[in-house]
Amino acid sequence: MYTVILVLITVSGIHGWSDTKVRRFRDDFLFGVATSAYQVEGAWDVDDKGENIWDRFLHEHPGVIADGRNGDVACDSYHNYQRDVEMLRELGVDHYRFSISWSRILPTGFSNEINEKGIEYYDSLIDELIKYNIEPMVTLFHFDLPQILQDLGGWANPLSVEWFEDYAKIVFEKFGHKVKYWITMNQPNSICVDGYGGIEFAPAVGFSGVADYLCIKNVLLAHAKAYRLYQTEYKTKYKGSVGISLSLNWADSVDNKTENVESTDLFREFSIGLYMNPIWSKEGDFPAVVKKRVLQKSIEQGYRKSRLPELSSEEIKLLKGSADFLGANHYTTYFVKKAEKRLPSPSIDDDIGVELSQPSDWKTSQSSWLRSAPYGLYKMSLHINKVYDYPAVFITEHGWSTTKGLKDSSRVKNLRNYFNALLLAIEDGTDVKGYTAWSLMDNVEWIAGTSERFGLYEVNFESKEKTRKARLSALVYKRLIEQRIVEEDWKPDNMNISITKRKKYAKVEL
Ligand code: NOJ
């Protein structure tokens, strides 16, 4: 049965479903949308906000931004949050995932100075959400470290674990009574592999194979400390849930050759296991194969110890089980092949030793890395169930990029195909509590600026008000939330979207 389903999905997942059964999302399945502070807020130096690493990086290197547009103003959500909530009401979503800008509420990075104007902003946004029965899902860290902490080494400094815990404490103190869903970190692999290993993502340290591993250890520990803090000081009082969002794209071997199949297993351990194993596996710690591989390479390269720092037994204990749910950010799938050429070393790429590709017949988005492969969501879900024993999952991001324009039929198609895959994954036992579309609206896609548009709403960045307009996909998503089924042929009569009464919000324990 298992293999039959897999084969059917592999074939039909890309080209559309062949079976006719109507699958339905449960009434208590939560639907939402997401954004992050740097990408939408703007007001980068307004009301005493401190500078963060993305402010600094894009101010110092404007040339790296595809269309030159940085996050100084972005969607100006700092001033437009009421319109944002109005859009959420138009969509009829259950939750809104947004992030808090650390340097907006703690301009020095430390808890000695609290910026009350920053606190007021998030308080107003949260109150506006609650007023309309929309549950806030708050990310504590979505890539924007206070610059001052970066000057002290950022996530490569082991003290960052304490800095984050202090920051988390302030946030829990201020907003804990209103927020039930918390996400500590967004995509540790982007923070560390891109930001500390690479040079195209702030803070652009560019020391792969060393700085990225230091960062991964500290980011995971910081997450675990914040989780434990919530457990001991706030859980009984506020009964909220705390998770972490990981980038969980899928990877398949390019063919059946043993060397490529083995390389794919290894790639999964480096891209999924490195982050999941410490929290969700029975034994805890980084995956044994990853530890072995990096140690062996490090010694060959003349290092005295592994470039991947060890976790002590207390740290392993701290991390194990430190999440109420797994936040899954899933966008695409890659094919993996054992690398034929020598890769620069030391580097995480060289440690893994693979080449990635995507078949040219998979539909392309506006982002070079993002092609549509819905079956990958299904396979990723089953992999997680098998290896990590059916964790509670919340899809905290999934989306598609286009150019400007309201008729985004490629996003609609992608959305429907992935929903079909998700419904199958749920049918086959994945414990998915909810889905969050990336993104509510077009925003600053890091160094792609606004050249890659991820929004269900289009934003006119030329206008002073940063006017937002619903795309076709917004109407389709709204309809899906109402009907709870995927209707392949449904089309709206016109492009108007208005607030409709929605079913009472279902309280869901994560
Ligand atoms: C994941 C990141 O969390 C988000 O910031 C980004 O905009 C989307 N992926 C799309 O690339």
**262 given a catalytic annotation:** no
* CA nearest to 396, candidates 140, 208, 151, 146: 140
Instruction: Tell how strand 95-99 and strand 468-470 pair up.
Output: unpaired
**135 given a catalytic annotation:** no
Per DSSP (E only), the strands in 295-400 are 325-329, 333-338, 354-357, 393-397
Residue pointed to by tokens 């040219």: 360
Report CA 144 to chain centroid distance, whole Å: 14
pLDDT of residue 510: 84
CATH of domain 28-249+267-332+368-483: 3.20.20.80
pLDDT of residue 420: 98
Ligand 1 pocket, residues with Cβ under 6 angstroms: 36, 39, 186-187, 329, 397, 438, 445, 454
**371 given a catalytic annotation:** no
Q: Which of 397, 445, 452, 458 is catalytic?
A: 397
Q: Which of 101, 329, 414, 439 is catalytic?
A: 329
**187 given a catalytic annotation:** yes
How remote is the CA of residue 139 from the centroid of ligand 1, in Å?
Answer: 13
How remote is the CA of residue 296 from the centroid of ligand 1, in Å?
Answer: 33
Residue nearest to atom 11 of ligand 1 (CA): 445
Residue 437: in which H helix or E strand, if any? Answer: strand 432-438
Say how far apart CA 81 and CA 122 lie, in whole Å.
Answer: 10
pLDDT of residue 1: 36
- 371 burial (CB, 10 Å; 0-12 / 13-18 / 19+) is buried
Q: Does the pTM of the predicted model rise above 0.85?
A: yes
pLDDT of residue 15: 41
Strand pairing partners for 137? 97, 181
* CA nearest to 368, candidates 332, 404, 408, 340: 332
CB 323 within 8 A of CB 242: yes
H-assigned helices in 176-323 = 188-189, 211-233, 235-238, 258-268, 274-280, 288-300, 313-319
CB 444 within 8 A of CB 455: no
Residue-level length of the chain = 510
Q: Is the dihedral of CA 274, 275, 276, 278 positive or negative?
A: positive
Q: Which residues, including other chains, have CB under 8 Å from residue 302's CB and lie 6 or more apart? A: none
How do the domains of the chain map onto residue ranges?
A: 28-249+267-332+368-483
**51 given a catalytic annotation:** no
Q: Which of 190, 366, 385, 410 is catalytic?
A: 190
Which atom belonging to ligand 1 lies closest to the Cα atom of 143?
A: 5
Residue 385: in which H helix or E strand, if any? Answer: helix 375-388
Per-residue pLDDT of the chain (510 residues; tens, 9 = 90+): 333 344 344 434 444 556 889 999 999 999 999 999 999 999 999 999 999 999 999 999 999 999 999 999 999 999 999 999 999 999 999 999 999 999 999 999 999 999 999 999 999 999 999 999 999 999 999 999 999 999 999 999 999 999 999 999 999 999 999 999 999 999 999 999 999 999 999 999 999 999 999 999 999 999 999 999 999 999 999 999 999 999 999 999 999 999 999 999 999 999 999 999 999 999 999 999 999 999 999 999 999 999 999 999 999 999 999 999 999 999 999 999 999 999 999 999 999 999 999 999 999 999 999 999 999 999 999 999 999 999 999 999 999 999 999 999 999 999 999 999 999 999 999 999 999 999 999 999 999 999 999 999 999 999 999 999 999 999 999 999 999 999 999 999 999 999 998 776 556 778
